[in-house]
Amino acid sequence: MTDIQHKTFLFDATRCIDCRACMVACSVENKIPMNKTRIWVAGVGLKGEFPALERASMVYHCMHCNEPDCLSACPVGAYSKRLDGPVIYDPKKCIGCRYCMNACPFGVPHFDYDKGLIDGAFIDKCSMCTQRIDVGLEPACMATCPTGALMFGERDELLKYAHDRLTAQPARYLNHVYGESENGGTSYLILSHVPFKELGLPELSSTPVRDVSEAVMGVTIPFALGWGAVLTGTAVGVHMVNKKKEADAQKLETSEPQAEEKK
């Protein structure tokens, strides 16, 4: 997976102080309405009992998967994965079906229930600030992070940096870079001092959900056609049986009244 040349974030949970500068910066940069956000704080927060305490939290937004499930699930091609990393949502193509919401293993795409068909964009999610990275700037969240908990750069370089840190400070981190292989690799890599599930991250295999779903989707049409044939056959069979029953019943009907009259 290390050969994927994507712009990538590296989030270091040991350095995040939960100040939310990234969230405010994103809101301003991307003109997010006051009742919406593209970045969340996740994780268990406070752990333990006084005075043996620990904190575990993470800011997260779209993971910009290398093999995006949203893209795979979208029936109208409203998602695309740019070669340099960002997973892009195109509101003009979106029909508001919300398949992407169900498909995303990280729960990122957010549906705007206040909007109707003519309002456009139903879904909101992080764009990796393409308007900034296209002119050589860093994404707004990372650019303002006061503690350097968020980094941004080339995926291979950040992966190397992450592994170097794990080697240099083994006591500080769990020995794993989340997102290196999870779900086929993401463009949001995470270093942590607590188990990743305590940061709210799902345990995912390195096989992208997309591969599984596409394998399933690959047999869908033959399956559907086959199932259709079976159903049609059944329907025809049932129909024929019913026809025969009807014919028999009609025969009975003609004779039954007489039988009743006999009573």
Partner 1 sequence: MPSTLSRRDFLKISGAAVGALVIGEFLPPWVAQAARSNGVLDASDSGYIPSMCEMCVWRCGLLAKVDAGRVVKLEGNPDHPHSNGKLCPRGQSGLMNTYDPDRVLTPLIRVGKRGQGLFRKASWEEALDLVTQNMLDIKQKYGPEAMLFSSTHNLSQVQFENLLNAYGSPNYGTQRSLCFNAMIVSNLTTYGMEEPNRKYDDLKYIILTGRNLMEAISTSETSALSQAIDRGVKVVTLDPRFTKTAAKSAEWLPIRPGTDLAFHLALINVIITEGLYNRNTVLNQTSGFDQLAAAVTQYTPEWAAPITEIPAETIRRIAHEFAAAAPYALAHNGWRTSNFVNSFQTERAIAILNALAGNWGVAMFPASGEESGVLGAPPQPAYPRVSAQRLDGVPWKYPFVPLKIGVFQELREAALSGTPYQAHGWFIARQNPAMSLPDRGRTLEAFAKMDFITTVDIIMNDTSWFSDVVLPESSYLERYDPLNIVGNKAFLRQPVIEPQGEARSALWIYKELGTRLGLGDFFQYSDEEDYLKQQLAPLGVSLDQVRQKGYVDLPGEGPDFTEPIWNTPSTKIELFSTTLDKGGFAAVPQWEEPLAPAPGQFYLLTGKVAQSTQFASQNNQLLNKYSDEPRLWMNVATAKSLGLSENDLVEVASTAGKIHIKLEATQAIRPDCVYLTPGYGHLSKGLTVAYGLGASDSDLHLTFTDPISGGQALSQTFVTVSKI
Q: Which residues bind to partner 1, rule: CB under 8 A?
A: 14-15, 17-21, 23-25, 27-29, 31-37, 40-46, 48-51, 53-55, 57, 107, 110, 114, 140, 143-149, 169, 200
Contact call for residues 152 and 9 (beta carbons, < 8 A)? yes
CB of residue 80 to partner 1, shortest distance in Å:
25
In angstroms, the CA 69 to CA 108 distance is 11
Q: Please identify, using beta-carbon distances, which residue of 40 and 99 lies nearer to partner 1.
A: 40
Q: Please identify, using beta-carbon distances, which residue of 133 and 145 lies nearer to partner 1.
A: 145
Other CB atoms within 10 A of residue 138 CB: 18
Contact call for residues 78 and 90 (beta carbons, < 8 A)? yes
Q: Please identify, using beta-carbon distances, which residue of 27 and 186 lies nearer to partner 1.
A: 27
Side-chain half-sphere of 221: how many Cα atoms within 13 Å?
Answer: 2
CB of residue 147 to partner 1, shortest distance in Å:
4
Q: Please identify, using beta-carbon distances, which residue of 55 and 176 lies nearer to partner 1.
A: 55
CB of residue 8 to partner 1, shortest distance in Å:
20
CB of residue 12 to partner 1, shortest distance in Å:
9
3-state secondary structure of 51: coil
CB of residue 242 to partner 1, shortest distance in Å:
52
Q: Please identify, using beta-carbon distances, which residue of 77 and 148 lies nearer to partner 1.
A: 148
Other CB atoms within 10 A of residue 207 CB: 13
Q: Please identify, using beta-carbon distances, which residue of 81 and 124 lies nearer to partner 1.
A: 124
Q: Where are the alpha helices (DSSP H) in 30-151?
A: 69-73, 99-103, 130-133, 140-144
CB of residue 172 to partner 1, shortest distance in Å:
9
In angstroms, the CA 2 to CA 6 distance is 10
- CB-count burial class (<10 Å; 0-12, 13-18, 19+) for 245: exposed
